[in-house]
Amino acid sequence: GSDICKYRLHVGSFPRPTAVFPAGGRPGEAVQLSWIGDPQGPWSTDLLLPTDGGSAAELFAQTDQGIAPSPIRVRVNELPNVVEAEPNDAREQATACTVPAALNGIIQQAGDVDRFKFTANKGQTFDVRVHARQPQRSRLDSVLGIYRADGSAIGSNDDDRGPDSYLRFSAPDDGEYVIVVHDQLLNGSPEMVYRIEVAPVRPSL
């Protein structure tokens, strides 16, 4: 220990979920959210996401027992939400989507692998970034991969300046591609929420 090892302890009957799903949405959008990880079990609420221009929002869980003393953070941007459809462990079961999009899922149990398939034209380029540890504080230590429809690899990434994964994808040909995500140690939990943002490459500082 040391003088920088500070902590705050909350004690009460308030709700205390550890994750929310899906992990984001569009500004001003009404999203049905599932609160996960509370000792009394999961529940759902409809919530309006803010329009203040921020890329992340702080959501406070609230029930008849009170309000959580600290928030869970989610992403807010213009990407349309896609929610995984289980089972999607095998390539032929991959959840179909159109990109750009935000792909939302949960690595539910040990060995779980999630797949999403999309079509791209030759030369189309996207930033593909996993949001799990940041901003949601998810327990997922992601590994991200992109493959051709025949299973041959385009690229993969484990950590990018932290446990969350990132790839820049440029389609080598017209065709179908598959995004694959799993935990680095192949662990799983109902709290391992993630959001993969597949966004066009734009100049930025």
Quote the pLDDT of residue 205: 82
pLDDT in tens, 112-147: 999 999 999 999 999 999 999 998 899 999 999 999
Quote the pLDDT of residue 196: 98
Percent of the chain with pLDDT over 70: 100
Quote the pLDDT of residue 53: 85
pLDDT in tens, 16-68: 999 999 999 999 999 999 999 999 999 999 999 999 988 999 999 999 999 99
Percent of the chain with pLDDT over 90: 95
The dihedral built from the CA positions of residue 162, 111, 144 and 196, taken in this order, carries a sign that is negative
**For residue 161, is pLDDT > 90?**
no
Please check whether residue 45 is in contact with residue 35, taking contact to mean a CB–CB distance below 8 angstroms.
Answer: yes
Quote the pLDDT of residue 55: 92
**For residue 151, is pLDDT > 90?**
yes
pTM: 0.93
Integer Cα distance of 200 and 70 in angstroms: 33
Quote the pLDDT of residue 54: 87
Please check whether residue 23 is in contact with residue 74, taking contact to mean a CB–CB distance below 8 angstroms.
Answer: yes
Please check whether residue 34 is in contact with residue 52, taking contact to mean a CB–CB distance below 8 angstroms.
Answer: no
Quote the pLDDT of residue 36: 97
Quote the pLDDT of residue 202: 85
